[in-house]
């Protein structure tokens, strides 16, 4: 695996997909209902989360830190305001498979704080990525167990309308653990993998 893919950022296609999802979220008024955004602390998920649920383009003179600074992760994307946005919390439990793949290794939290000033990183215990290992890939069953732990934690939140921005592999293994007990559309999506 190439180190060039370390903590991969969104591509121009990814940003177009984010823009399309944002339009959908705003068209159906979902943005007005969301009380909290939970995000995996990887560059691509944080870019997605702030792109979909963040404020408009950042303008000078606003007395609030931006959700994302200009050109975050070499994105060539303008800054994104935190104005009129729900709170954002980064949570390690909803990360993609851990280990081996450099794209799934995160940067230091101190670096992220400078790129995403308005995201709350207080639940992350270590500045450096101590969960990712170059020689061991997390087993599917371990991802599912971590997903169950994440869902149990999520149920403790006081907010009722929560957006979770995570990864397909994490979500697949987490939801597959429910088997036939999933909502029909979720079960259908899992069965297509």
Q: Please give the C-alpha separations between residue 56 and each of 19, 50, 59, in angstroms, as whole numbers.
A: 12, 10, 9
* Contact criterion met (CB below 8 Å) for 161 and 35: yes
* Contact criterion met (CB below 8 Å) for 58 and 118: no
pLDDT at 105 over 90: no
Handedness of CA 186, 102, 108, 54 (dihedral sign): negative
Q: Please give the C-alpha separations between residue 148 and each of 20, 84, 140, 141, 142, in angstroms, as whole numbers.
A: 30, 31, 12, 11, 10
State the pLDDT at residue 23.
94
59 or 95: which carries more pLDDT confidence? 95
Q: Pick from 66, 48, 49, 65: which is nearest to 57 by CA?
A: 66
**What value does the mean pLDDT take over residues 141-153?**
91
Q: How confident is the model at residue 169 (pLDDT cuts 50, 70, 90)?
A: confident
State the pLDDT at residue 107.
86
Q: How confident is the model at residue 182 (pLDDT cuts 50, 70, 90)?
A: low
Q: How confident is the model at residue 50 (pLDDT cuts 50, 70, 90)?
A: very high
Domain locations in the chain as residue ranges? 3-141+159-168
* Contact criterion met (CB below 8 Å) for 58 and 66: yes
Residue 118's CB is within 10 A of a number of other CB atoms, namely: 20
CA distance 37 to 164: 6
State the pLDDT at residue 70.
80
| 100 half-sphere exposure, CB direction, 13 A CA radius | 6
Q: How confident is the model at residue 99 (pLDDT cuts 50, 70, 90)?
A: confident
Q: How confident is the model at residue 3 (pLDDT cuts 50, 70, 90)?
A: low
**What value does the mean pLDDT take over residues 154-163?**
94
Instruction: Tell me the Cα Rg of the chain.
Output: 17
DSSP string, 163-185: EEE--HHHHHHHHHTTGGGS-HH
pLDDT in tens, 129-141: 888 787 889 898 9
């Amino acid at each position: 695996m190439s180190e060039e893919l370390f903590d991969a950022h969104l591509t121009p296609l990814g940003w177009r997909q984010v823009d399309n999802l944002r339009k959908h979220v705003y068209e159906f008024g979902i943005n007005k209902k969301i009380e909290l955004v939970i995000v995996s602390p990887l560059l691509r998920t944080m870019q997605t989360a702030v792109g979909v649920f963040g404020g408009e383009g950042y303008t000078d003179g606003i007395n609030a830190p931006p959700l994302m600074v200009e050109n975050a992760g070499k994105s060539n994307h303008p800054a994104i305001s935190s104005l009129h946005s729900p709170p954002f919390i980064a949570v390690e439990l909803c990360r993609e498979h851990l280990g081996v793949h450099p794209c799934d290794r995160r940067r230091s939290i101190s670096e992220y704080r400078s790129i995403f000033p308005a995201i709350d990183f207080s639940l992350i215990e270590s500045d450096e990525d101590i969960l990712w290992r170059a020689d061991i890939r997390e087993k599917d069953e371990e991802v599912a167990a971590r997903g169950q732990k994440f869902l149990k934690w999520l149920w403790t939140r006081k907010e009722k309308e929560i957006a979770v921005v995570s990864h397909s592999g994490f979500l697949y293994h987490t939801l597959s653990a429910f088997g036939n007990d999933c909502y029909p559309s979720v079960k259908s999506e899992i069965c297509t993998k």
